[in-house]
A = this chain, B = another copy of it.
């Protein structure tokens, strides 16, 4: 089975920059951490689209994501993305795409991959399982939840996503 990954940056890929004492989107981290998962009989095909804080994503960036998704509708897709505008991107994809044959999963993290208490590897793990077994549709997958993208919002204070239902 094949799963496409599109990486766009966000907290999940941030690194700590010692010279500035702050985190930033400077390196691609997804593939390095995927190497920690066992995914036998799964062909992973990773495309790095950009490496941005999602608050800085432009309309052009979202058009680029849409184009990349359209070219990969033959298999499930996992998109790693900043959490602040993850739902916005997901809704844009939903408006732009017709009926799907496979699930499209948006995921990210509240704390960068590799930092203590990071949720990044958990969310990647869950996203790959959801990519394999969820019904066609567009979802936000984090923290043991699979939210349809039109029924979810980020709760910044609690650092999690919550259902609109």
- Give A contacts to B, CB under 8 Å: 11, 14, 16, 18-19, 21-23, 36-42, 53, 110-117, 119, 121-122, 125-126, 128-130, 132-134, 142-146, 156-160
Contacts and interface: CB of A to CB of B under 8 A. Distances in A.
Contacts of A134: 133
B16 A21 contact: no
A-B CB proximity, top 10 nearest: A114-B116, A18-B159, A38-B143, A125-B125, A18-B110, A126-B129, A115-B115, A39-B144, A129-B129, A38-B119
- Give this chain's copy count: 4
Nearest to A38: B143
Contact of A23 (B23, B114, B142): B23
Given A39-B144, A129-B144, A129-B146, 4 more contacts: A11-B21, A16-B115, A114-B115, A132-B144
